[in-house]
Amino acid sequence: MSELLILVVDDEAAQRQVLAGFLKRRGYEVAQAASLSDALGVVSSRTVDLVLSDLRMPGGSGIELISGVRQINPDIPVVIMTAFGTVQSAVEAMRHGAVDYLTKPIDLDELQLTVARELDRRALVSENRELRRLVESRYSLKGLETANSRMEQAVNLAARAASSRAAILLRGETGTGKELLARAIHRASPRAQMPLVTVNIGALPDTLIESEMFGHERGAFTGADRERRGRIEEADGGTLFLDEIGDLPRGAQVKMLRVLQEQTFERLGSNRPIRVDVRIIAATHRPLEQMMAGGEFRDDLYYRLNVVSIELPALRERREDIPGLVEQFLERHGTESAGRVTGVSREALDLLTKYAYPGNVRELENIVRRALVLARGPLVGSYDLPPHVRGLAAEPEATGGSFTEQVARFERRLIADALAHAGGVQTRAARELGMSERHLRSRLRRLGISEASRKPTE
């Protein structure tokens, strides 16, 4: 309990010494003050866990002390000691915010019980506040709801780390949602009202990375006709998300290390240090440990970035989340079907759940968007999914030709896919295509689709 600090306030030195000695023997750290001003000075300069104060002191009363303590930190409990032991003095002290009172002469056993109870109560309040903060942070990670234990661990770790200023390294395959998680961490952090600046390092030419990141002065290089703020400066007070950090050139790695260590940098063409307050979140799909062994990535930068490491599992490792993600994407992109698509058929959802997704969540989102555009009914059917998702080899795409020829190719492919899914049963295929069986037969004849794929009825 040595980390718990109790402030004893009493103008009588002998009384302070008795109480301080008793509390120290029970493992508490104790500070002493003889007056109101001394007591408020201690509360302002140190982390006090409980104040034990006389009701009457020179230079101010215990009531005034309660008010002063509450202005500095309203969470610090104050227990009042009074020799007057009247109901009126106790009620007055409690009315002004005292958590309890003790009458003089102090019963040391009662003192021990009171101190332990109030410190336990304060710890419980602090714990509940932290839990509420974590719940709020967890709720603010909207869009990352999951039924997968590994993904749940990643999201919970992100929620706990969000309130700190520690650097975070997000790891996982391309398309697993690293940028989405970075945005959620920013929203759940105390920096939520400040900028979130995203830089995809892999998309920048090496020659432009330093100018883009650190900015430049006018005349710093050919074409630099004006001063320019870099992305780090734009993120001041907020969060800087560095996607594909493994692609950062060695020269820029040295400068980024300084930003992490000292929160300072210099623009190109200047030797004037600029101080910033930036929280760094980095992401990579590359094996940084192997890159360090090969001399491609600095060890010191890696350890600065890797304070909190969060691994996002691939989508094929969290298939239980696929139905929920499909529903999210249908809602997000529903306008692309003008609201006519309301869901996904059971067969289509089964295929979507079984597919391996080398492109992870990003690929699933694109597949759903494609299906919304091509869907012919209120439900996305299996025939609206790409051939590779249905386990079929993709046909080589023919190109060119007149508009009529291109439309015919597209129509032939749709009908062939529907027949394949229907096992060649024309009645079922026609139903999936939203046309009569007679109309389907007419289209088959006109498009020259072979008899091998036809069965007249179910």
Structure tokens at 272: 């004037």
CA-wise closest residue to 364 among 386, 346, 342: 386
Q: Are 364 and 326 in contact (CB under 8 A)?
A: yes
Cβ–Cβ contacts within 10 Å for residue 99, how many?
19
- 1.10.150.20, 2.20.25.160, 1.10.10.10, 1.10.8.60: which CATH number matches 314-393? 1.10.8.60
Distance CA 229, CA 227 (A): 7
Residue matched to tokens 């590994």: 150
pLDDT below 70 — which residues of the chain?
1-2, 84-87, 90, 127-143, 337, 392-403, 420-423, 448-458
Domain segments of the chain: what residues? Answer: 5-129, 149-311, 314-393, 395-458
Our measurement of the distance from residue 211's CA atom to the centroid of its chain's CA atoms, rounded to an integer in Å, reads 28
Q: What is the CATH number of domain 5-129?
A: 3.40.50.2300
Fold (CATH) for 395-458: Arc Repressor Mutant, subunit A (1.10.10)
CA-wise closest residue to 326 among 294, 372, 274: 372
Task: Classify residue 396 by burial, with Cβ atoms within 10 Å: 0-12, 13-18, 19+.
Answer: exposed
Q: What is the dihedral of CA 232, 237, 242, 246, to 10 degrees?
A: 80
Structure tokens at 238: 């907020």
If you write DSSP's letter for every residue of 74-106 in order, what string do you get?
TTS-EEEEESS--HHHHHHHHHTT-SEEEESSP
- pLDDT tens for 191-248 read 988 999 999 998 888 888 988 899 888 877 777 778 888 999 999 999 999 999 999 9
Predicted pLDDT of residue 129: 62
Q: Where are the alpha helices (DSSP H) in 199-321?
A: 206-214, 231-234, 250-262, 288-293, 299-305
CA atoms within 13 A on the CB side of 22: 17
Overall pTM surpassing 0.85 (yes/no)? no
Phi/psi zone of residue 295: left (φ > 0), alpha (ψ -120 to 50 degrees), beta?
Answer: left
CA-wise closest residue to 30 among 12, 18, 41: 18
Cβ-based neighbours of 226, under 8 Å, separated by 6 or more: 218
Distance CA 261, CA 333 (A): 42
**Secondary structure letter of residue 32 according to DSSP:** E
The angle subtended at Cα 351 by Cα 324 and Cα 421, nearest 5°, is 140
Fold (CATH) for 149-311: Rossmann fold (3.40.50)
Predicted pLDDT of residue 1: 42
Asked if 149-311 and 395-458 have one fold, the answer is no
- pLDDT tens for 77-92 read 999 988 765 657 767 8
Report the sign of the C-alpha dihedral through residues 450, 455, 457, 458, in that order: negative
Please give the span between the terminal C-alpha atoms of the chain, in angstroms, as a whole number: 79
Q: Are 370 and 387 in contact (CB under 8 A)?
A: no
φ, ψ at 382 (rounded to 5°)? -60, -35
